Amino acid sequence: MKGISEQTGRDSSVCRSGGGPGGSGGSGGRCPGGLRRSMWRSRWDAGVLKAEALALLPCGLGMAFSQSHVMTARRHQHSRLIIEVDEYSSNPTQAFTFYNINQGRFQPPHVQMVDPVPHDAPKPPGYTRFVCVSDTHSRTDPIQMPYGDVLIHAGDFTELGLPSEVKKFNEWLGSLPYEYKIVIAGNHELTFDQEFMADLIKQDFYYFPSVSKLKPENYENVQSLLTNCIYLQDSEVTVRGFRIYGSPWQPWFYGWGFNLPRGQALLEKWNLIPEGVDILITHGPPLGFLDWVPKKMQRVGCVELLNTVQRRVQPRLHVFGHIHEGYGVMADGTTTYVNASVCTVNYQPVNPPIVIDLPTPRNS
Ligand SMILES: [Zn+2]
């Protein structure tokens, strides 16, 4: 195990010289504004057009798109794309309906469900195999872990973030043979959210009695219990030439950890994600991708996260969980989206880990 647990997300053993992965993802393949050329094409096809792109449209083609609804992104003077709060930010179900009807933003052939790679499929030469899980909730014993190079855990590895749970999870990580193991926190890792814990103590709040009883010295350095992985929290690491960024935040969800209001507060966290990231790990889903909650008949993904992923960062892979009902894989022509929730909505750990093969950057 070469990875080390660290907050800065920098692993001294990894390659930093990389740029994008070999093939189409390198900086040479990018348009001046930070858009990959192939992406420009696929976004064009998908109708997910930026305001400035409308100016390039042949006469009449732009008429199908309302200017006001594509103005959520603009460039500042150094050509960095700025994402702004979406006008449908606070109502993701309505946002989904609007963008689907008016822009076909979530429809085939641009957006598709993807069959997961069978665990026994041979890895193509020159590829790195990522094994993606999330929402294991201290129920790792029955999980059959497949072969792979890099483990990604997208948060909710405990039920309450109790140090005993974190230690048990760390032991499980230590028993796994992957070369790198990368972990973020989720809303259930209450002790990892220092502000949440400070409030909990102040309020003498009994919603989480076993957590309220903890003494600060027992959780202040809870991250240091994760010795068998690279822990990311609004930070980045490069392994095998892949730039990987992780963030635990999600839209407010009944006052759990790492909750933020939809809109500007969450967008500020997404604005920390650097351009050029190959793999993004968040706990919650973006709008429209594996974020459907059937019981409530609602989409619950973050609109600002979707706009950040599709319009600015454009990673090859986005791994998340949180919405247990959304387990599966989708793709939009640029990014593969994985909801890796191992636990079902009833907390049964029955969904298999999801395997994704990506070409290893040549310079790694
Ligand atoms: Zn969960």
For ligand 1, the distance from its centroid to the CA atom of residue 165, given in whole angstroms, is: 14
For ligand 1, the distance from its centroid to the CA atom of residue 305, given in whole angstroms, is: 19
For ligand 1, the distance from its centroid to the CA atom of residue 155, given in whole angstroms, is: 8
Tokens of 303: 């609109």
Tokens of 210: 């076993």
pLDDT value at residue 73 = 58
For ligand 1, the distance from its centroid to the CA atom of residue 237, given in whole angstroms, is: 24
Q: What angle do CA 22, 23, 25 make, to 5 degrees?
A: 80
For ligand 1, the distance from its centroid to the CA atom of residue 23, given in whole angstroms, is: 36
For ligand 1, the distance from its centroid to the CA atom of residue 137, given in whole angstroms, is: 7
pLDDT in tens, 142-168: 999 999 999 999 999 999 999 999 999
For ligand 1, the distance from its centroid to the CA atom of residue 98, given in whole angstroms, is: 28
For ligand 1, the distance from its centroid to the CA atom of residue 265, given in whole angstroms, is: 22
For ligand 1, the distance from its centroid to the CA atom of residue 158, given in whole angstroms, is: 9
For ligand 1, the distance from its centroid to the CA atom of residue 291, given in whole angstroms, is: 13
For ligand 1, the distance from its centroid to the CA atom of residue 188, given in whole angstroms, is: 7
Classify the C-alpha dihedral 213-282-319-102 as positive or negative: positive
For ligand 1, the distance from its centroid to the CA atom of residue 56, given in whole angstroms, is: 44
For ligand 1, the distance from its centroid to the CA atom of residue 3, given in whole angstroms, is: 25
For ligand 1, the distance from its centroid to the CA atom of residue 65, given in whole angstroms, is: 37
- State percent of the chain over pLDDT 70: 77
For ligand 1, the distance from its centroid to the CA atom of residue 250, given in whole angstroms, is: 12
Residue 33 pLDDT > 60: no
For residues 250 and 273, what is the distance between their CA atoms, to the nearest angstrom? Answer: 15
pLDDT value at residue 75 = 56
Q: How far apart are the first and last CA of the chain?
A: 17
For ligand 1, the distance from its centroid to the CA atom of residue 321, given in whole angstroms, is: 7
For ligand 1, the distance from its centroid to the CA atom of residue 258, given in whole angstroms, is: 13
Higher pLDDT, 48 or 260: 260
pLDDT in tens, 188-216: 999 999 999 988 877 765 678 888 888 88
For residues 118 and 33, what is the distance between their CA atoms, to the nearest angstrom? Answer: 37
What pTM, to 2 d.p., does this model score? Answer: 0.80
Mean pLDDT of the chain: 82
Q: How many residues does the structure list for the chain? A: 364
For ligand 1, the distance from its centroid to the CA atom of residue 159, given in whole angstroms, is: 8
For ligand 1, the distance from its centroid to the CA atom of residue 90, given in whole angstroms, is: 22
For residues 269 and 260, what is the distance between their CA atoms, to the nearest angstrom? Answer: 10
Q: Residue 314: which of 12, 46, 1 has the closest Cα?
A: 46
**In this structure, what DSSP letter does residue 286 have?**
B
For ligand 1, the distance from its centroid to the CA atom of residue 340, given in whole angstroms, is: 10
Average of pLDDT values for 214-240?
Answer: 95
For ligand 1, the distance from its centroid to the CA atom of residue 199, given in whole angstroms, is: 22
Which residue bears the tokens 């606070």?
A: 90
pLDDT in tens, 78-99: 567 899 999 999 999 999 999 9
Domains of the chain, start order: 34-112 (no CATH), 113-359 (3.60.21.10)
